[in-house]
Amino acid sequence: MIQVYGRQVMNSHAVEYEIFGDDMQLVEVELDPGETVIAEAGAMNYMEDGIDFQARMGDGTEMDKGLLGKVFGAGKRMLTGESLFMTHFTNQGSGKKRVAFAAPYPGRIIPLDLSEIGGRLICQKDAFLCAAYGTRVTITFNRKFGAGLFGGEGFILQKLEGNGLAFVHAGGTVIQRDLNGEKLMVDTGCLVGFTEGIDYDIQRAGNLKSMFFGGEGLFLATLRGSGRVWLQSLPFSRLADRILANAPSAGGRSQGEGSVLGGLGRILDGN
């Protein structure tokens, strides 16, 4: 066991990995006999013969808490919109075996060695993909009312603790920034995660004219302190809005394609 910010955390399994792809990535994790990796339900893409998987309530770090502790821990995960269960993949074979997990939408998979960033990461609710067994996956509440109400991620954020590898997913291109007592202003949907030492809050996006007509939203996230921050160029909410804006309406006509050339294109396509 190791100590992380006053709490006991299991030693994580030392897994190896390789990331494949460009815009739609997957991470392939190599497990030694007896090693385990935990993942969000439905994230698995493929696995080799010899790997056994089980859906369990929690990440495995609640073993000493009894049934009530497991139910409480899993219930907190449901507040983030995630499944009550996590899937545990264990190599039951005699040699090295591989299991792969795919990103849910276009973007990047970020490998993070938690021992190198202070043992803790705060991230957006749907960022977690998979991690070495022994990683604690739980939630944290935003203590500031304004940041929780207008900060894009709400009052509930995801928290990863441990000393092993964890993999999170972000949309589009991912930027890593190291702050040293600085202040960074970010679109509320573009924040992926940050380490201990970063203070997260929101502020008004300029004057009233800029707030309502500037196209950047009413508020911006502000990050202050010393630590590491990860940002994404394409939040899933922004991608979904663009898809819905150009999806066919109930009458069968595509919104945003009302020009003469758009109609000619549909005729040529046989629509």
- Going from N- to C-terminal start, the domains of the chain cover 2-172
Averaged confidence pLDDT in the chain: 77
Q: Which tens digit of pLDDT belongs to each residue from 13-41?
A: 778 999 999 888 999 999 999 999 999 88
**Amino acid 261: pLDDT:** 46
Mean pLDDT of 39-54: 93
Per-residue pLDDT band at 90 (split at 50, 70, 90): very high
**Amino acid 247: pLDDT:** 73
Least confident piece of the model among 11-15, 52-56, 166-170: 11-15
Show the tokens assigned to 173: 């291109």
Mean pLDDT of 35-61: 89
- For every residue of the chain, which 3-state class applies, written as one string? CEEECCEEECCCCCCEEEEECCCCCEEEEEECCCCEEEEECCCEEEECCCEEEEEECCCCCCHHHHHHHHHHHHHHHHCCCCCCCEEEEEECCCCCEEEEEECCCCEEEEEEEHHHCCCEEEECCCCEEEEECCCEEEEEECCCHHHHHHCCCCCEEEEEECCCEEEEEEECCEEEEEEEEEEEEEECCCEEEEECCEEEEEEECCCHHHHHHCCCCCEEEEEEEEEEEEEECCCHHHHHHHHHHCCECCCCCECCCCCHHHHHHHHHCCC
pLDDT at 97 over 60: yes
Highest mean pLDDT among 4-13, 55-64, 211-220, 239-248: 239-248
**Amino acid 206: pLDDT:** 55
**Amino acid 204: pLDDT:** 65
**Amino acid 170: pLDDT:** 93
Q: List, in sequence order, every residue forming a beta bridge with 18; answer none if it has no partner.
A: 28
pLDDT at 248 over 60: yes
Instruction: Report whether 9 contacts 163 (CB < 8 A).
Output: yes
pLDDT at 265 over 60: no
**Amino acid 141: pLDDT:** 67
Mean pLDDT of 130-145: 78
Mean pLDDT of 103-127: 91
Mean pLDDT of 162-175: 93
The pairing of beta strand 191-195 with beta strand 86-91: unpaired
Mean pLDDT of 162-174: 93
**Amino acid 101: pLDDT:** 96
Q: What is the CA radius of gyration of the chain?
A: 21
Q: Which tens digit of pLDDT belongs to each residue from 200-244?
A: 887 766 555 544 544 445 678 889 999 999 999 988 777 777 778
Who wins on pLDDT, 244 or 256?
244
**Amino acid 82: pLDDT:** 58
**Amino acid 264: pLDDT:** 45
Show the tokens assigned to 245: 């804006």
Q: What length does the chain have? A: 271
Instruction: Report whether 107 contacts 234 (CB < 8 A).
Output: yes
Alpha-carbon distance of 31 to 132, in angstroms, equals 10
Task: Give the CATH superfamily of 2-172.
Answer: Mitochondrial biogenesis AIM24 (3.60.160.10)
**Amino acid 187: pLDDT:** 84
The dihedral built from the CA positions of residue 189, 195, 198 and 201, taken in this order, carries a sign that is positive
| Residue 155: other Cβ atoms inside 10 A | 16
Alpha-carbon distance of 139 to 124, in angstroms, equals 10
Q: Which tens digit of pLDDT belongs to each residue from 121-137?
A: 999 888 899 999 989 98
Q: Which amino acid appears at position 116 of this protein? A: E
**Amino acid 156: pLDDT:** 73
Alpha-carbon distance of 101 to 31, in angstroms, equals 13
